[in-house]
Amino acid sequence: MDTGTLLLFLHICVGLPLAQGAAPALRFVALGDWGGVPNAPFHTAREMANAKELARTAQTLGTDFVLALGDNFYFTGVHDVDDKRFQETFEDVFSDPALRNVPWYVLAGNHDHLGNVSAQIAYTKISKRWHFPSLYYRLRARVPQTNVTVAIFMLDTVTLCGNSDDFLGQQPQRPRDPELARTQLSWLKKQLAEARDDYVLVAGHYPIWSIAEHGPTHCLVKQLLPLLAKYKVTAYLCGHDHNLQFLQDDSGVGYILSGAGNFMDPSKKHRRKVPEGFLRFHYGDENSLGGFVHVEISAKELAATYIEASGKSLFKARLPRRSRS
Ligand SMILES: *[C@@H]1O[C@H](CO)[C@@H](O)[C@H](O)[C@H]1NC(C)=O
Ligand SMILES: *[C@@H]1O[C@H](CO)[C@@H](O)[C@H](O)[C@H]1NC(C)=O
């Protein structure tokens, strides 16, 4: 299946007038590991709190779309396109009117791959706001009132690296279908080499760098990391570890980890596995209701605000626009 070259042009229509005088910007929320539980009520208190705060954020800061970074349905994904979990864990939870017209762009995590990912892709045709056109794809958008463009490459890191058992803290060992993994990686290389956008983001479920429970994903450090520096990628976004982190490497690439949609895990087990000085922010308080990252991209810079589900702003990272070459 190589529908990965599909181009999706976002038509940004901001539903709500935002604060007067705010510089034109493209805004989105990165939310990972948000997928509820397989038994009634099919959501957690943290997922509910995040949904409420997401609605508030859409009204106050504005959000043009949501990037769903995988583990959309715990613990074993969905069965088919008619699975009730689409309603119980997604539609009924993110039901605030402020979110009604906010599209979601979705990628799959390891738990989704324990079920039927084709059904999650098929759900695109049923839901008005769920967009999951293929396992991996490109999104492109423009900062309103400018010619400044943003490319987002949505990856499937599970078919790229293999599945892993969360509860054993395992690393993915190898892709089940090596040909599919190769096709995806060469698609990404070609796309990155050709990208002339002012901001280039790459998103996947597994982290490249993380100090937490699962730590860095060896397969991505080996295969993806070299591409980020080479092609001057602005940031890599991911989930998988159940907390919030911001890291930055020596070449300036930012690493936004947003995996606090449903669970919180304070572990810093892999802090020595991340190069000295990369970690800029970590939040994994077990008593917290979780959170997400709000990204605002203007002609000048990308600002990532880490927001706790209680509404508290925890941290803000800024990354510059790329120099077009
Ligand atoms: C996955 O879901 C699709 C869409 O509902 C369905 O056609 C297909 O049979 C499902 N696959 C399996 C293995 O259940
Ligand atoms: C965008 O590009 C077009 C075509 O080059 C140009 O006419 C227009 O002035 C540009 N707009 C802005 C806001 O820079």
The answer to whether residue 190 is domain-embedded is yes
DSSP code of residue 134: S
Chain position carrying tokens 């058992």: 165
pLDDT at 12: 45
The answer to whether residue 107 is domain-embedded is yes
Q: Which of 73, 80, 124 to mutate to test the pocket of ligand 1 (most atoms within 8 A of CB)?
A: 80
DSSP 102-113: --EEE---TTGG
- Per-residue tens of pLDDT for the chain, all 325 residues: 344 444 444 444 444 445 545 789 999 999 999 999 999 999 999 999 999 999 999 999 999 999 999 999 999 999 999 999 999 999 999 999 999 999 999 999 999 999 999 999 999 999 999 999 999 999 999 999 999 999 999 999 999 999 986 666 679 989 999 999 999 999 999 999 999 999 999 999 999 999 999 999 999 999 999 999 999 999 999 999 999 999 999 999 999 999 999 999 999 999 999 999 999 999 999 999 999 999 999 999 999 999 999 999 999 999 999 986 5
pLDDT at 32: 98
In the chain, the N- to C-terminal Cα span, in Å, equals 33
The answer to whether residue 128 is domain-embedded is yes
The answer to whether residue 15 is domain-embedded is yes
How many angstroms is it from 81 CA to the middle of ligand 1?
A: 7
CA 240 to chain centre: 10
**Ligand 2, atom nearest to 146 Cα:** 13
The answer to whether residue 297 is domain-embedded is yes
The number of domains in the chain is: 1
How many angstroms is it from 51 CA to the middle of ligand 1?
A: 28
Q: Which structural domain range is residue 72 located in?
A: 3-320
pLDDT at 74: 97
The answer to whether residue 23 is domain-embedded is yes
pLDDT at 167: 60
pLDDT at 4: 41
DSSP 183-216: HHHHHHHHHHHH---SEEEEE-SS-SS-SSSS--
Tell me what percent of the chain is helix, strand and coil, each rounded to the nearest 5.
25, 25, 50
The answer to whether residue 325 is domain-embedded is no
**Ligand 1, atom nearest to 81 Cα:** 5
Q: What CATH number is attached to the domain comprising 130? A: 3.60.21.10
The answer to whether residue 36 is domain-embedded is yes
- Our answer on whether the CB atom of 149 is closer than 6 Å to any ligand 2 atom is no
Question: Which strand (E) or helix (H) includes residue 121?
Answer: helix 117-122
How many angstroms is it from 45 CA to the middle of ligand 1?
A: 30
pTM here is: 0.93
pLDDT at 168: 62
CA gap 300, 156 in Å, rounded: 30
Q: Which of 1, 81, 84, 86 to mutate to test the pocket of ligand 1 (most atoms within 8 A of CB)?
A: 81
